[in-house]
């Protein structure tokens, strides 16, 4: 690494730096706000320098961590890890810079910046570690930090903002009195839902460890690593064959994938991400673009590579070990599950995004949808490998989408944060016509949504389009009807994506101004007192573009999104380990699109984009000034709208189940626990107290009374030669008990029993 | 854990006077010095001497190689002796001598003794009456305690064993609270009777063993007749059982602990009881394991009974100090149980591993209980200064009135009932695992633990987490009183997460003891 520094600094700087944040906060608030940015900036420089060391570490990569357990901390410097590290550190840095202005004046920033920096550190731990267990620690650090950050505004006392188009829920779990309650609920929800996945994942990791005897990714990917559970000692097999031999392969892989489902918000655990918008916008950007949800994609990609490695390159050449008959085709079902879940998520959440009324929630749905694409790409890669074709290109398209999505989604969130900051509402139906007030925000946002929708020549076009192409390619080579389904879902999701992108732009930036910001006449109202004047200045001033600390990261991200074409070939060379010329790769990209069979998906996708784009443009931009009457008050279209608005009822279903469960538990408590279990509790307490007071009496009067009695008696006896008859019954009893005890012991010893 | 610098330092000491004689003599010199310097200088001198002793103990532990167990001295190193007199007995010549040597178990106990005595010295800040005499006795006590743990000769063992009694008798009787003279006499009579039985056994052993020697090293190498062994074991049971204490020999303890001044209670609970446990291990398990193996079932039954019985008795106490005192008895029963199981493992190699676990647990239990009970006694004493009374029902709302003091009380209570992450937990787990694999019914001792958790939490509920009584005056403890318990909590937590610090020291000795 740079200057020969040790690699672990990349993790240590953010994780250790996060602990310094509250300390620095005691001395200098401004420096404290900049601390995460400074630490992450240094980390970013170091991370970029890793690009020179891919696969060729220039120093030690392993350090003992817990020597007793033989646990080492080892960094992994393969292309995937390095790309994720560079991406995560760069986006984190930009978001931290943005946060310094965005969070200005908020309460309790110690907590905020501590969690932010630890969050980034957790992600870097995950992607850079060569040890599944340590990666899982990073994974959990992120889980905790997301909980703290989503619920960051936990003590807001004002009532939550009502969604003007929202559907009232009757579930008592969803009634909130204050915004703080809602925020806390959202954070808790994110934590619990992802924990569901994590619990399965941990089980999967432990089973994997039982079979593989190692947590190391490089060892897991090595087909010559012998499993400690080899059935036949004369023919050692690796973990893959050992697991497959007992038929646990698909369950094991699925358990681990459950973690990714939870973290990356795949169906059916996608419910937490839309609510995760309760946190500050920079948190949303961090969760969506750089960390957290990318973790699930990363771990899936990591396992794709590992599986390809352990099965010997993914192609059907002869087994490396004798008698090994288990190839990657064993995992075909698993990759089918990944691809189907990805495709369903991509389509389902895109339809939800079409009707959402919350600015950041639309972006959240789009994130879910794009994550679905990434999973689809990885699943398709596995499917292609499983049917005897190369997995690399499909996998590459997934990685490319991670990168391009990271950039444009950070861009969109940060821009949206600027908008919300300026108009003080999160619902787009309260916004409108901001184009003229926030011209630069509008422009960067336009770049963002265009990339999101996959418009040429922005980054999203290249990555998303190639995912769709490879899905089609899988159908083309295998004629698997599920492949066709995947393709249809992917294309439909693309159409939905461009529709909601244009809807977002149209409602927020076009059309008439309304809501909070059209009363700038009152701004100059002189009747207000000084204090009210100050207040009104804060909340009622004309919306405007934010300051440089917020805008500069936006420009950088926009520049990357526009210039993606320049970078894609470099990434491709890095991922595939090739050294093609820039022009050759670009030519290949085009060639794949305009020749058969790639032409078919390309044309179909363009058609879908045109369909979604034209309708979106017509409704929300062309006719932005006229009220929207597309959805009637009742009828079939309204029902569809409500179904989408309620997020396919999945969310409602979970709440319904949990509510029922809580009620049942409450009933149990009232009828069974309070009466029976508590009865036993109180009964045994009373019994214990009664026993203890009796025993104390015995101890004080008999045991101690015996000794005291003897001494009093002997004193008395020596004084007046009286008899030792004290007349006290206690003394006699205790003497007898003690004497009997000694005699029993003597008899036992003498008779040889003991 | 062997550190080069500690070994160099120890080498220097070993070349001049020897580490163990230095440990024994320094407090004696200190006692004289404290007495001569008078009331003003006694306390600083005592703290300095005990601190140096603690440092020496730690150097010994750090330089000590636990795996070096020479067979010729039955595992003892740094041995030496000082001849008192020689007697001609016809054919044989007998030497009366003070002989010393340590193995891993002794080193652990030496460190504990020095630690507890140092903490007790720090917490003696409420002693104002005849300080010079108090501190002189205090340092004399330290010599006695250390002597017990490093003696390798029955006679010198007995001398040190009795040497502890005298200063302790005066500390309880002179500086204690109301009724302390009665308690002191009671303490003296009980322990002295136990010691008398033990002394007789020493002499019997001297004559019937045929070696005409008091040296434990020689005696351990000699095969003794079974009845002699059993008689000796019963005598040890009386002597060490009073100190430990075991039902029904325990009644001196609540009296002595409650009536003694705080530092007196700290030393009593922290290290004096451990003499009993150490006596069981060194004189019983180490010297006559076969006899202990035959007595194992009654001993184990008695231990389980004692633990549960004492837990219930503790629950009924209203005086916090008294409750803590019974808690000590309840915890020391674990040591007896572990010793019983350990002796079974000696004769039955199938149970060797459970025996190893149990004995390590016993020593760990002594170490951790020594630290925890010190903190609890300091806290109980502090309650008197803060709230004016130690009666649990009369003190309310400590958390609001005295948060720092409450934190100490809460932490020490958690540690006392074996909260995971603190040293008590490790000790209980080791003993429990070892015992249950030998005798399944020994798991019943868990009931004692259960009741202990119950009454300690109940006490916290009543004293700490209750609503404050507006009538009652409760003051926060000053830092000067809190410093000693805070220092003592550090090793409690450290050993809770890093038990190997002690276990690596004692494990080879335990294996050696079991004939490994």
What integer pLDDT is reported at residue A545 of this predicted model? 83
Query: How many other C-beta atoms can be found within 10 angstroms of the C-beta atom of residue A13?
Result: 23
Q: Are B218 and B205 in contact (CB under 8 A)?
A: no
β-bridge partners, B89: B92
Contacts of A748 in chain B (CB under 8 A): 298
* Closest in A688, A695, A711 to B309, CB measured: A695
- Report the chain B residue with the minimal C-alpha distance to residue A705: B251
Contacts of B230 in chain A (CB under 8 A): 749
What integer pLDDT is reported at residue A728 of this predicted model? 62
- Report the chain B residue with the minimal C-alpha distance to residue A696: B313
Across A17-37, average pLDDT: 90
B251-277 pLDDT per residue, tens = 889 889 999 999 999 999 999 999 999
Question: Can you tell me whether residue B231 is helix, strand or coil?
Answer: helix
**DSSP string over A463-506:** HHHHHHHHHHHHHHHH--HHHHHHHHHHHHHHHHHHHHHHHHHH
What integer pLDDT is reported at residue B46 of this predicted model? 93
Asked if B248's CB is within 8 angstroms of A738's CB, the reply is yes
Nearest partner of A166 among A370, A414, A416, A426, judged by Cα: A426
- Report the chain A residue with the minimal C-alpha distance to residue B290: A754
Q: Can you tell me the distance from the alpha carbon of B514 to that of B353, in angstroms, rounded to the nearest whole number?
A: 10
- Report the chain B residue with the minimal C-alpha distance to residue A708: B186
B312 at interface of A, judged by CB pairs closer than 8 A: yes
Query: How many other C-beta atoms can be found within 10 angstroms of the C-beta atom of residue A187?
Result: 25
Residue A217 falls within a domain, yes or no?
Answer: yes
Structural domain tally of chain A?
2
Residue A688: pLDDT band by 50, 70, 90 thresholds?
confident
Residue B308, classified by CB atoms within 10 Å of its CB into exposed (0-12), middle (13-18) or buried (19+), is buried
Same domain, A682 and A635: no
Per the prediction, chain A carries an average pLDDT of 84
**Which parts of B439-499 fold into alpha helices (H)?**
445-463, 479-497
Asked if B312's CB is within 8 angstroms of A695's CB, the reply is yes
Residue A524: pLDDT band by 50, 70, 90 thresholds?
very low
Residue A213: pLDDT band by 50, 70, 90 thresholds?
confident
What integer pLDDT is reported at residue A535 of this predicted model? 43
Across B110-114, average pLDDT: 95
Min Cα distance B447 → chain A (Å) is 11
Residue A418 falls within a domain, yes or no?
Answer: yes
Which range of residues forms the domain containing residue A266? 129-519+542-562+595-645
Residue A80 falls within a domain, yes or no?
Answer: no
Q: Are A398 and A301 in contact (CB under 8 A)?
A: yes
Question: Can you tell me whether residue A77 is helix, strand or coil?
Answer: coil
What integer pLDDT is reported at residue A541 of this predicted model? 63
Residue A323: pLDDT band by 50, 70, 90 thresholds?
very low
Across B412-438, average pLDDT: 90
Asked if B297's CB is within 8 angstroms of A703's CB, the reply is no
pLDDT at A516 over 80: no
pLDDT at A746 over 90: no
Contacts of A699 in chain B (CB under 8 A): 251, 309, 313
Q: Are B329 and B306 in contact (CB under 8 A)?
A: yes
Considering only residues A99 and A677, tell me which one the structure prediction assigns the higher pLDDT: A99
The DSSP element (H or E) to which B53 belongs, if any, is helix B19-63
B186 at interface of A, judged by CB pairs closer than 8 A: yes
Contacts of A711 in chain B (CB under 8 A): 189
Same domain, A624 and A720: no
B313 at interface of A, judged by CB pairs closer than 8 A: yes
Q: Which of A745-754, B79-88, B312-321 has the highest mean pLDDT?
A: B312-321
Which residue, A614, A645, A676, sits at the end of a domain?
Answer: A645
Question: Can you tell me whether residue A203 is helix, strand or coil?
Answer: helix
Same domain, A632 and A715: no
Same domain, A729 and A600: no
What integer pLDDT is reported at residue A558 of this predicted model? 92
Contacts of A745 in chain B (CB under 8 A): 298
What integer pLDDT is reported at residue A325 of this predicted model? 60
Across B106-115, average pLDDT: 94
Q: Are A372 and A261 in contact (CB under 8 A)?
A: no
What integer pLDDT is reported at residue B152 of this predicted model? 92
Min Cα distance B190 → chain A (Å) is 9
In chain B, % of residues over pLDDT 70: 99
Residue A753: pLDDT band by 50, 70, 90 thresholds?
low
Q: Categorise residue A238: left if φ over 0, alpha if ψ from -120 to 50, beta otherwise.
A: beta
B181 at interface of A, judged by CB pairs closer than 8 A: no
Would you tell me the crossing angle of helices A548-562 and A439-453 to the nearest 10 degrees?
30
Q: Are B397 and B420 in contact (CB under 8 A)?
A: no
Question: How far apart, in Å, do the first and last CA atoms of chain A sit?
Answer: 72
Same domain, A659 and A723: yes
pLDDT at A730 over 80: no
pTM beyond cutoff 0.80: no
- Report the chain A residue with the minimal C-alpha distance to residue B291: A754
Residue A731: pLDDT band by 50, 70, 90 thresholds?
low
Q: Can you tell me the distance from the alpha carbon of B495 to that of B62, in angstroms, rounded to the nearest whole number?
A: 16
In chain A, % of residues over pLDDT 70: 90
* Closest in A711, A738, A754 to B297, CB measured: A754
Which residue, A645, A660, A678, sits at the end of a domain?
Answer: A645
Same domain, A619 and A675: no
* Closest in A696, A703, A748 to B316, CB measured: A696
Of A1-5, B157-161, B335-339, give the lowest mean pLDDT range: A1-5
- Using alpha carbons only, give the angle A580, A582, A584 rounded to the nearest 5 degrees: 65
In chain A, % of residues over pLDDT 90: 30
Contacts of B250 in chain A (CB under 8 A): 703
Nearest partner of B236 among B272, B197, B278, judged by Cα: B197
Same domain, A454 and A478: yes
Q: Are B114 and B59 in contact (CB under 8 A)?
A: no
What integer pLDDT is reported at residue A380 of this predicted model? 93
- Report the chain B residue with the minimal C-alpha distance to residue A734: B248
Same domain, A604 and A727: no
pLDDT at B327 over 90: yes
pLDDT at B1 over 60: no
A342-383 pLDDT per residue, tens = 999 999 999 999 988 889 999 999 999 999 999 999 999 999
Of A308-317, A376-385, A517-526, give the lowest mean pLDDT range: A517-526
CA distances from A531 to A158, A389, A534, A535, A537 (A): 20, 70, 5, 6, 10
Min Cα distance A699 → chain B (Å) is 8
Across B114-124, average pLDDT: 93
What integer pLDDT is reported at residue A515 of this predicted model? 53
Question: How far apart, in Å, do the first and last CA atoms of chain B sit?
Answer: 21
Same domain, A263 and A411: yes
Asked if B247's CB is within 8 angstroms of A754's CB, the reply is no
Across A188-202, average pLDDT: 91
Same domain, A374 and A496: yes
What integer pLDDT is reported at residue A317 of this predicted model? 43
Q: Are B62 and B153 in contact (CB under 8 A)?
A: no
Residue B303, classified by CB atoms within 10 Å of its CB into exposed (0-12), middle (13-18) or buried (19+), is buried
Which of A693, A697, A699 to mutate: most B Cβ within 10 Å? A699
Considering only residues A67 and B194, tell me which one the structure prediction assigns the higher pLDDT: B194
Asked if B298's CB is within 8 angstroms of A754's CB, the reply is yes
Residue A521: pLDDT band by 50, 70, 90 thresholds?
very low
Nearest partner of A394 among A533, A300, A261, judged by Cα: A300
Q: Are A262 and A196 in contact (CB under 8 A)?
A: yes
Min Cα distance B420 → chain A (Å) is 20
B317 at interface of A, judged by CB pairs closer than 8 A: yes
Same domain, A666 and A641: no
Surface of A (670-729) touching B: CB under 8 A: 688-689, 691-693, 695-696, 699, 703-704, 707, 711
Which residue, A629, A645, A661, sits at the end of a domain?
Answer: A645
What integer pLDDT is reported at residue A53 of this predicted model? 86
Which of B313, B450, B503 to mutate: most A Cβ within 10 Å? B313
Same domain, A241 and A355: yes
Of A714-728, B34-48, B68-82, B185-199, give the lowest mean pLDDT range: A714-728
Q: Are B20 and B70 in contact (CB under 8 A)?
A: no
Residue A428 falls within a domain, yes or no?
Answer: yes
* Closest in A689, A696, A703 to B248, CB measured: A703
What integer pLDDT is reported at residue A536 of this predicted model? 41
Residue A306 falls within a domain, yes or no?
Answer: yes
pLDDT at A85 over 60: yes
Question: A356-395 in b/e burial notation, b at 16+ Cβ within 10 A?
Answer: bbbbbbbbbbbbbbbbbbbbbbbbbbbbbbbbebebbbbb
Asked if B190's CB is within 8 angstroms of A707's CB, the reply is yes
Asked if B247's CB is within 8 angstroms of A711's CB, the reply is no
């Amino acid at each position: 690494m740079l200057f020969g520094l040790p690699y672990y600094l990349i993790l240590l700087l953010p994780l250790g730096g996060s602990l310094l944040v509250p300390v620095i906060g005691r001395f200098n608030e401004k420096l404290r706000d900049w601390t995460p940015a400074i630490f992450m900036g240094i980390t970013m420089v170091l991370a970029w320098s890793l690009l020179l060391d891919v696969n060729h570490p220039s120093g030690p990569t392993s350090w003992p961590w817990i020597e007793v357990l033989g646990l080492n901390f080892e960094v992994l410097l393969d292309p995937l890890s390095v790309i994720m590290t560079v991406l995560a550190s760069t986006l984190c840095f930009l978001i931290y810079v943005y946060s310094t202005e965005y969070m200005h004046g908020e309460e309790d920033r110690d907590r905020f910046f501590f969690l932010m920096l630890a969050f980034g550190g957790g992600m870097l731990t995950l992607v850079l570690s060569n040890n599944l267990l340590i990666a899982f620690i990073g994974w959990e650090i992120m889980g905790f930090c997301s909980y703290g950050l989503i619920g960051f505004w936990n003590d807001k006392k004002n009532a939550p903002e009502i969604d003007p188009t929202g559907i009232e829920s009757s579930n008592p779990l969803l009634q909130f009195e204050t915004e703080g309650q809602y925020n806390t609920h959202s954070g808790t929800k994110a934590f619990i839902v992802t924990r569901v996945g994590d619990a399965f994942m941990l089980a999967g990791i432990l089973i994997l460890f039982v079979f593989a005897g190692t947590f190391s990714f490089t060892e897991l990917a090595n087909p010559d690593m012998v499993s400690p559970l080899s059935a036949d000692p004369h023919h050692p097999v690796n973990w893959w064959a050992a697991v497959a031999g007992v038929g646990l392969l698909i369950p094991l892989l699925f358990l681990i994938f459950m973690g990714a489902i939870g973290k990356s918000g795949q169906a059916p655990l996608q419910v937490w991400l839309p609510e995760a918008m309760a946190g500050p916008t920079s948190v949303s950007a961090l969760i969506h673009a750089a960390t957290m949800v990318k973790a699930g994609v990363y771990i899936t990609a990591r396992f794709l590579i590992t599986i390809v490695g352990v099965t010997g390159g993914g192609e059907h050449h002869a087994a490396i070990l004798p008698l090994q008959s288990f190839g990657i085709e064993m995992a075909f079902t698993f990759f089918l599950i990944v691809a189907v879940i990805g495709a369903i998520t991509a389509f389902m959440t895109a339809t939800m995004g079409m009707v959402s009324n919350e600015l950041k929630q639309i972006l959240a749905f789009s994130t879910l949808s794009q994550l679905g694409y990434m999973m689809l790409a990885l699943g398709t890669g596995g499917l292609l490998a499983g049917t005897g074709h190369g997995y690399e290109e499909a996998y590459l398209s997934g990685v490319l989408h991670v990168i391009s999505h990271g950039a444009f989604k950070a861009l969109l969130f940060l821009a949206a944060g600027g908008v919300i900051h300026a108009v003080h509402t999160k619902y787009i139906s309260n916004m409108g016509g901001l184009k003229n007030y926030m011209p630069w925000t509008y422009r960067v946002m336009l770049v963002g949504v265009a990339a999101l929708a996959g418009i040429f020549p922005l980054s999203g076009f290249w990555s998303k389009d190639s995912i769709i192409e490879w899905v089609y390619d899988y159908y083309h080579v295998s004629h698997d009807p599920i492949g066709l389904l995947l393709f249809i879902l992917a294309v439909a999701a693309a159409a939905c994506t461009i529709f909601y992108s244009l809807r977002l732009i149209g409602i927020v930036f076009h059309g008439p101004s309304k809501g909070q910001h059209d009363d700038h006449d009152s701004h100059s109202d002189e009747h207000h007192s000084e204090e009210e004047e100050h207040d009104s200045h804060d909340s009622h001033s004309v919306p405007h573009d934010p300051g440089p600390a917020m805008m500069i990261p936006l420009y950088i991200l926009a520049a990357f999104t526009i210039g993606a074409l320049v970078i894609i070939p470099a990434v491709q060379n890095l991922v595939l380990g090739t050294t093609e010329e820039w022009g050759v790769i670009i030519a290949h990209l085009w060639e794949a699109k305009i020749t058969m069979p790639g032409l078919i998906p390309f044309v179909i996708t363009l058609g879908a984009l045109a369909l979604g784009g034209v309708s979106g443009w017509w409704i929300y931009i062309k006719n932005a000034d006229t009220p929207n009457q597309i959805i009637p008050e009742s009828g079939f279209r309204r029902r569809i709208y409500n179904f989408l608005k309620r997020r396919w009822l999945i969310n409602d279903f979970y709440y319904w189940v949990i509510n029922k469960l809580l009620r049942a538990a409450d009933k149990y408590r009232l009828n069974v626990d309070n009466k029976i279990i508590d009865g036993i509790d109180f009964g045994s307490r009373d019994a214990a107290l009664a026993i203890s007071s009796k025993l104390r009496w015995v101890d004080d009067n008999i045991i101690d009374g015996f000794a005291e009695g003897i001494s009093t008696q002997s004193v008395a006896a020596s004084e007046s030669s009286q008899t030792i008859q004290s007349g006290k019954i206690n003394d006699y009893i205790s003497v007898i008990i003690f004497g009997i005890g000694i005699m029993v012991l003597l008899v036992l010893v003498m008779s040889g029993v003991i | 854990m062997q550190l080069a610098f500690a070994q160099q330092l120890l080498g220097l000491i070993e070349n001049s006077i020897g580490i163990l004689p230095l440990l024994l003599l320094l407090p004696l010199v200190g006692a004289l010095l404290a007495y001569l310097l008078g009331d003003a200088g006694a306390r600083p001198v005592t703290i300095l001497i005990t601190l140096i002793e603690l440092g020496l103990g730690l150097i010994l532990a750090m330089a000590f190689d636990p795996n070096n167990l020479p067979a010729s001295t039955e595992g003892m190193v740094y041995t030496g002796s000082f001849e008192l007199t020689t007697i001609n007995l016809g054919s044989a010549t007998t030497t009366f001598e003070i002989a010393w040597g340590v193995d891993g178990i002794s080193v652990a106990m030496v460190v504990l003794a020095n630690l507890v005595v140092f903490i007790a010295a720090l917490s003696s800040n409420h002693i104002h009456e005849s300080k010079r005499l108090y501190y002189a006795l205090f340092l004399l006590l330290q010599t006695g305690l250390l002597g017990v743990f490093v003696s390798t000769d029955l006679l010198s063992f007995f001398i040190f064993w009795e040497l502890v009694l005298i200063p302790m008798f005066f500390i309880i009787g002179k500086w204690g609270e109301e009724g302390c003279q009665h308690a002191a006499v009671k303490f003296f009579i009980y322990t002295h009777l136990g010691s008398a039985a033990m002394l007789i056994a020493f002499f019997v052993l001297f004559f019937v063993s045929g070696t005409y020697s008091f040296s434990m090293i020689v005696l351990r190498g000699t095969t003794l007749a079974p009845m002699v062994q059993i008689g000796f074991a019963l005598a040890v049971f009386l002597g060490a059982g009073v100190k430990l204490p075991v039902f029904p020999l325990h009644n001196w303890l609540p009296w002595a602990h409650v009536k003694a001044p705080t530092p007196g209670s700290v030393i009593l609970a922290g290290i004096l009881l451990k003499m009993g446990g150490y006596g069981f291990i060194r004189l019983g398990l180490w010297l006559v394991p076969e006899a202990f193996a035959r007595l194992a079932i009654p001993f184990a039954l008695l231990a389980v009974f004692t633990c549960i019985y004492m837990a219930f008795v503790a629950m009924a106490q209203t005086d916090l100090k008294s409750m803590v005192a019974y808690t000590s008895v309840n915890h020391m029963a674990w040591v007896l149980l572990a010793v019983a199981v350990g002796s079974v493992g000696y004769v039955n190699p199938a149970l060797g591993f459970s025996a190893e676990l149990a004995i390590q647990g016993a020593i760990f239990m002594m170490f951790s209980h020594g630290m925890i009970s010190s903190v609890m006694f300091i806290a109980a004493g502090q309650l008197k200064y803060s709230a004016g009374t130690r009666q649990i029902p009369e003190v309310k709302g400590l958390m609001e009135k005295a948060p720092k003091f409450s934190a100490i009380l809460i932490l020490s209570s958690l540690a006392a009932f074996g909260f995971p992450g603190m040293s008590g937990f490790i000790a209980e787990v080791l003993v429990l695992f070892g015992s249950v694999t030998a005798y399944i019914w020994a798991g019943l001792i868990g009931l004692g633990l259960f009741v202990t958790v119950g009454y300690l939490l109940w006490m916290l509920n009543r004293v700490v987490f209750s609503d404050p009584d507006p009538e009652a005056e409760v003051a926060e403890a000053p830092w000067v009183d809190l410093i000693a318990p805070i220092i003592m909590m550090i090793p409690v937590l450290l050993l809770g997460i890093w038990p190997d610090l002690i276990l690596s020291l004692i494990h080879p000795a335990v294996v050696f003891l079991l004939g490994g």
